[in-house]
Structure 1
Amino acid sequence: MAKLTITSSRWEELTTLLEDEQRLRSEYPKVAEYLDMAARLTGTGDDQVDAQFDLRFVHYMTGGSAVSPNPYWDIVEPLVNGHDGRHVVNGGREEGSARLAFAQMLLQATYAYAIPAPQTIEWIGDFCDGLPIVELGAGRGYWAAQLAHAGLTVDGYDSEPPDTAANASFPEVVGQADVWHPVADLAEFATRARPAEYVLFLCWPPGWGDAMSSDALMAFEEAGGERLVYIGEPRGGKTGNDAFFDALSARWRLESVDSHFVSWWTDADVAQGWVRA
């Protein structure tokens, strides 16, 4: 397990917070909710691993960007294991655990659906080869923040920017950042000049027949776009629609796949780099 280093002053802050249940529930309701549920749910079977995960969860969820530029990764990284040639967060158990599944739900709503491991951020930078990035469906802008922190130029857009609109996937919650990077609305995206001299980034575009992914790809093609980063599940999964995958098959070529991509054990998402055929 990756070592967690906490300063004495931070230990004192956490101790004071956890001893004041009313304050914890008021300032960090999702952390309080997790701690309430965690004790009732089956964990990994290793009490020490579970306790360390709980500590990481509390430390990074309450510390935000002040304690880490990528708290999502710092919380889950120790529970990453190899399984069937993939890197998955499962705590060392093929079936994961009920406690980890509950944490997954909270973490995805707090940060992003996909996990931005540092190796994946580096892979995206290599694939973009100096081009700026435009992320559509950026959510809280968590991935955009990680890319920007790595020195990449990235603009994020969403139909419902969480800091200015109600977003069911990323609701406003006390004690959590609404956005980690500026996220503009689609009306502002529509004013961007053509041609599309940037890499289009789609991270977990909605599935179940939603046309967002295919519409975004078609507009990108019409604007002359030539490079796409797609993070999501294969055809028939939770992300993208059939028209999106049809377009990829017909007019695009898969150039790169991130072999270090980390996924939740419950998901089948991958990180792919596509170029116009």
Structure 2
Amino acid sequence: MKTLALTTERRNELAALLDDERRLRAEYPKVAEYMVTSPMLPGTDDAQADAEFELRLLHYMTSSKERVQNPYWEILAPSVFEHDGRRVVNGGSLTGSGRLAYAETFLQAAYAYAIPSPETLEWIAGFCADRPVVELGAGRGYWASQLSNCGVLIDAFDAKPPDRTNNVSFDRSVGQLDAWYQIGNLKDFEDRVRDRSDHVLFLCWPPGWGNTMASWALTEFEKAGGSRLVFIGEPSGGKTGDDAFFDGLDARWNLESEDTQFVSWWNLGDVAQGWTRR
């Protein structure tokens, strides 16, 4: 595995941060909690790879937004391997590890549930074909930020914008961004899409377990005459979307494109799909 290239100055900065537990907890409490807990969990069979992963996480999670454009991907990229025709983050171990499972939940809360690899961002931009994008359920707006950096015109919305309201999935903490992009609320979303079909609807990990957000968004999009949808999440019966959403796709939409380069955590079954209205 390629070693993270850091300047001597940056290595000294990180060493000083680790050596000063009080400062680490004050400036980056979530990172401090991670660094304490992770070593107590079983890693992969490659101790060097595990150590490199920890270094990348420490480096990128204590770097500014201006310094690193896509820290989530930078942390994970060297841990991506191909398995059964899929690109997955497993650290080279088919069963992952306890440490990676902990990192998964930690990084999902800090950034986003799905992983925005450069290939997937490019695939979305191509599927949208210069149309503006509207994302509902944007969380911290991490995907919106990355797509915007790729030249996609995107508006992002969430029922609970984490920089303004309490969002249990994306809680606030010192040392990390509450939002990576401007996030509107549901009222803003309704005003944006009312009687307009000039956009692509983007749903990235819409809530499952009976939550009707995905089917509601699809219905409103159809009412406005929408015809192009990007869905990232697990298929029907998984952790995302509700039955009515998937039934609607089956009945009224065609699966036009699927990103074969999409990267998932090894223990998830999410996919990236592009749908068009029949």
Amino acid at match of 1:268: G
Q: Matches of residues 232-271 of structure 1 in structure 2 within 5 Å?
A: 232-271=233-272
The equivalent of 2:29 in structure 1 is 29
The one-letter amino acid of 2:114's match is: A
Structure 2 CA distance, aligned partners of 1:16 and 1:33? Answer: 17
Identity of aligned residues (%): 58
1:13-70 deviation line (CA, Å, top 9, x unaligned): 2122111110001111111111111211111121111110010010001114133110
Which secondary structure does the structure 2 equivalent of 1:224 belong to? coil
* d(CA) in 1 for partners of 2:114, 2:258: 15
**Aligned partners of 2:23, 2:117: CA distance in 1, in Å?**
32
CA contact (8 A) 1:87 1:262 kept: yes
How far apart are the structure 2 equivalents of 1:37 and 1:67?
A: 27
* Preserved CA contact (<8 Å) 1:72 1:115: yes
- Structure 1: unaligned runs, 5 residues or longer: none
Distance of 2:178 and 2:163 partners within structure 1 = 5
Q: Deviations over 1:113-142 (max 9, x none)?
A: 000000000000000000010000000000
Could you tell me how far apart the structure 1 residues matched to 2:162 and 2:38 are? 27
For residue 184 of structure 2, what is the aligned residue in structure 1?
Answer: 184
Could you tell me how far apart the structure 2 residues matched to 1:8 and 1:160 are? 41
| Structure 2 residues not aligned, in runs of 5+ | none
Q: Tell me the residue number matched to 2:227.
A: 226
**1:1-277 map, 5 Å:** 1-192=1-192, 193-277=194-278
Q: Which amino acid aligns with 1:222?
A: K
Aligned equivalents of 1:208, 1:165: Cα separation in 2: 22
Q: Is the 8 A contact 2:3 2:52 kept in 1?
A: no
Query: Structure 1: how far apart are the matches of 2:152 and 2:244?
Result: 30
Distance 2:183 2:107 in 1: 19
Structure-1 separation of matches of 2:11 and 2:107: 22
Q: What is the rounded CA distance, in whole Å, between the counterparts of 2:196 and 2:145 in structure 1?
A: 25
**1:156-193 per-position Cα deviation (integer Å, ceiling 9, x unaligned):** 00000000000010000111100001111111112125
* Distance in 1 of aligned mates of 2:229 and 2:66: 32
Structure 2 Cα separation of the partners of residues 42 and 223 of structure 1: 50
Aligned partners of 1:138 and 1:157 also within 8 Å: yes
Residues 2 and 182 of structure 1: is their aligned pair in 2 closer, same or farther, counting only changes over 3 Å?
Answer: farther
User: What is the alpha-carbon distance in structure 2 between the residues aligned to residue 67 and residue 35 of structure 1?
Assistant: 22
* Alpha-carbon contact 1:64-1:71 (below 8 Å) kept: no
The separation in 2 between residues aligned to 1:257 and 1:119, in whole angstroms, is 12
Q: Is the 8 A contact 1:80 1:88 kept in 2?
A: yes
Instruction: Give the direction of change, closer, same or farther, for the CA distance of 1:87–1:113 in structure 2 (3 Å limit).
Output: same
- CA deviation digits over 1:60-114, x for unaligned, max 9? 0111413311000000111111111111101111110001111111000000000
Q: More deviation in 254-263 or 41-50?
A: 41-50
CA shift, 1:9, in A, is 2.6
Q: Report if aligned partners of 2:90, 2:265 keep a CA contact under 8 Å in 1.
A: yes
Please give the TM-score of this superposition, normalised by the length of structure 1: 0.98
Shift of 1:8: 2.8
Aligned-partner Cα distance in 2 for 1:2–1:60: 16
Query: What secondary structure sits across from 1:66 in the alignment?
Result: coil
User: Do the aligned partners of 1:2 and 1:77 also contact (CA within 8 Å) in 2?
Assistant: no
Distance 1:173 1:143 in 2: 20
Looking at structure 2, the residues matched to 116 and 67 of structure 1 have their Cα atoms a distance apart, in angstroms, of 18
- CA 1:157–1:2 in 2, change beyond 3 Å: closer, same or farther? farther
Aligned-partner residue type, residue 226 of structure 2: G
Shift of 1:3: 4.6
The two structures have a TM-score, normalised by structure 2, of 0.97
